Amino acid sequence: MLRVDLAHGFGAFRLNVAFAAPPGMTVLFGRSGSGKTSIANAVAGLMRPERGRVSVGDWVLVDTDAGLCLPSHRRRLGYIFQEGRLFPHLTVRQNLAYGAWFAPKDAPREDMGRVVEMLGIGPLLARRPAGLSGGERQRVAIGRALLAAPRLILADEPLSALDEERKAEILPYFERLRDEVRVPILFVSHSPTEVARIATTVVALEAGRVSRIGTAAEVLGDPALAPMGVRSAGAVITATLVRQHDDGLSELDAGGIALFLPRVEAALGNAIRLRIAAHDVILSREVPKGLSALNILPGTVEAVHHGDGPGAMIRLTTPAGAVLARVTRRSADLLGLQPGVAAYAIIKSVAPAPDDVGAIKEAAE
Amino acid sequence: MADWLSPEEWRAVALSLKVSFWAALVSLPLGILTAHALARWQFPGKQVLNGPVHLPLILPPVVTGYLLLLTFGRRGMVGQFLEQWFGIVFAFRWTGAALAAGVMAFPLMVRAIRLAIEAVDPKLEQAAGTSGASRPWVFLTVTLPLILPGIIAGVTLAFAKAMGEFGATITFVSNIPGQTQTLPSAIYSFLQVPGGEVQASRLVVVAIVIAMSALLLSEWVGRAVARRIGGRDAAG
């Protein structure tokens, strides 16, 4: 259990947060300036908070009341930075071994061979960072953090310096970290896609405060909360991969409803997390006919949230889980979309971006 | 080469090499420490430290030599102390020549190393810290290897400066053949006597050869080290 309770002032900005996160991947989610990097810095010991307490299980990193603030190097961290920060004078193998060298001799360690195999960096071991691609560097950075025998792994927007292709290459490794590593991970992000794919727990931050904490489905499915703006709002549902069709589509089962998506590369029976952007969802009061869209989810309107603009965010409860739809207020009024009425959510198969679809390993076991 | 130079000339060359070697070697740890302090530490009176370090660069060498004589001479405060407690004598010995050369070369060495330290990305040192390395370990495992080219440049500069040092040396420890007569002092002496030009020009050739060798060697070593580090700018 990771517990964080911090207060710190930076001029006019005031950080005041408290949260406890269960094991797994905890994502600090918010816009730049919401305080997420300050929290990571305070947890890492790169910044000393005015007041606060940070602990991982019974391992206390900061307790200002007790006058305790461990220096960075004694916090037993694995830190994955945005820009990798590999040591240029060391080979990949030496970079990987760097943190392990400073860890206590009796610390539980990851096996170097297993980590190298998991990250697919075996062929890089003898090389130096200067010759690696951005994605390769970030994989080595993940390995270096894992092999430092950490009690807590921190990742500060580790994907944001990468282009889309590299992001897609690295995201699955964080899914595997979440599912296969027992050390708690604190992941800083401003991307709903990353949150949807990898979060066990989401801590949504706004202006230095926690605005919501919960699972990815809870936080991203809250119509009143759009930490990154309504344009990037979208609910998360979990489905099971049941069939690969010959026409290139994958069939998923979501609470008894069949969903069709472009080919999802995962084993049959695997659980799949899927983010459906709110602006990709069309609502209908009646059973739609003669539509090209393959995915139709029957449900009930649970909440309608009006913002300042012409739009409305509708939360629909369906057998597959909650779905968010962004429609205009005019449509919402015309259709009489009120809490309690029945409606259908229509999603084009090709709508979800490939990055918004990811496998969860533990559910398959 | 031993036949080509007279014993007196040969002594001057050997002495200069010895003096410069020790001047560069002994001032190196102090130079790294000073450069690190100037580049990275935050402390009150940083400018006060900056002053004396650079003073030998801007003062007339004769003044530096005289100040060394006042401080490290037999009657000087530090000189007396060192002789009494450690039996170390600088005055009119080759050790004094090494001290003078070291002091004069120090600002050049510190400058080269300081620039190298400032070029090291503090984020890398931070990454080493969060990986579990304490500050001394961060320095030894990350900073020091990354500034190696700067250290090599600094040592070469210091060595070359020490080889050429004249004013402070002759003021502090005089010009005693076999004791304190370095290569520049010897050239100077030969030029004072009629017909000494031949000997002087032989030494001039030696000085040029040594200086060029030192320069080429340091370029070569520096490039080899930089290649090992592998494109410092490209690495993130």
What are the tens digits of pLDDT across the range A207-237?
899 988 988 888 887 777 766 666 678 888 8
What is the structure's pLDDT at A361?
Answer: 61
DSSP A154-186: EEESTTTTS-HHHHHHHHHHHHHHHHH--S-EE
What is the structure's pLDDT at B158?
Answer: 93
Q: What angle do CA A53, A14, A23 make, to 5 degrees?
A: 40
Cβ atoms of residues B181 and B12 within 8 Å: yes
Q: Show the beta-strand stretches assigned E in B83-221.
A: none
What is the mean pLDDT of the segment spanning B115-128? 93
* Interface contact A344, partner B, CB < 8 A: no
ipTM: 0.80
Cα-Cα-Cα-Cα dihedral sign, residues A198, A202, A207, A209: negative
Whether pLDDT at B1 is above 60: no
Name the band, by pLDDT with cuts 50, 70 and 90, for residue A364.
Answer: very low
Check CB contact under 8 Å for A98 and B228. Answer: no
Select, from the ranges A223-232, A273-282, A298-307, B102-111, the one with the highest average predicted confidence (pLDDT).
Answer: B102-111
Lowest mean pLDDT among A186-195, A233-242, A306-315: A306-315
Tell me how far apart the alpha carbons of residues B217 and B221 are, in angstroms, rounded to a whole number.
Answer: 6
What is the structure's pLDDT at A227?
Answer: 60
Whether pLDDT at B106 is above 90: yes
Q: Which residues contact residue A137 at a Cβ distance below 8 angstroms, ignoring those fewer than 6 apart?
A: A84, A86, A129, B236
Given B127, B229, B235, which is nearest A79 (Cβ)?
Answer: B127
What is the structure's pLDDT at A363?
Answer: 40
What is the structure's pLDDT at A276?
Answer: 87
pLDDT in tens, A325-341: 888 888 888 888 889 89
Residues of B in contact with A79 (CB under 8 A): 127, 130-131
Query: Residues 138 to 197 of B: which have CB under 8 A from any A CB?
Result: 138, 141-142, 145-146
Whether pLDDT at A152 is above 90: yes
Whether pLDDT at B231 is above 60: no
What is the structure's pLDDT at A230?
Answer: 63
CATH homologous superfamily of A2-220 equals: P-loop containing nucleotide triphosphate hydrolases (3.40.50.300)
Whether pLDDT at B236 is above 60: no
pTM over 0.90: no
Put the strands of the sheet holding A13-21 in their side by side order: A13-21, A2-10, A51-56, A59-63, A68-69
The secondary element (H helix, E strand) that includes residue A197 is helix A192-198
What is the structure's pLDDT at B234?
Answer: 37
> Which residues are bridge partners to A284 per DSSP?
A344
Q: How large a percentage of chain A has pLDDT more than 90? A: 35
- Among B121, B130, B148, the residue to mutate for chain A (most A Cβ within 10 A): B130
Query: Residues 6 to 45 of A: which have CB under 8 A from any B CB?
Result: 44-45
Q: Which of A226, A261, A223 is nearest to A359 (CA)?
A: A261
CATH of domain A234-364: 2.40.50.100
Instruction: Break chain A into its structural domains and give their ranges.
Output: 2-220, 234-364
What is the mean pLDDT of the segment spanning B151-166? 92
Side chain identity, residue B139: F
Whether pLDDT at A138 is above 70: yes
pLDDT in tens, B31-74: 999 999 999 888 888 888 888 888 999 999 999 999 999 999 88
pLDDT in tens, A17-60: 999 988 899 999 988 888 898 999 999 999 999 999 999 988 99
* Coil/strand/helix, residue B189: helix
Whether pLDDT at B230 is above 70: no
Write down the mean pLDDT value for chain A: 87
pLDDT in tens, A163-216: 888 888 888 888 888 888 889 999 999 888 888 888 889 999 988 999 889 888
> A211: distance to nearest CA of chain B, Å?
29
What is the structure's pLDDT at A332?
Answer: 86
List of domains in chain B: 7-229 (1.10.3720.10)
What is the mean pLDDT of the segment spanning A290-298? 83
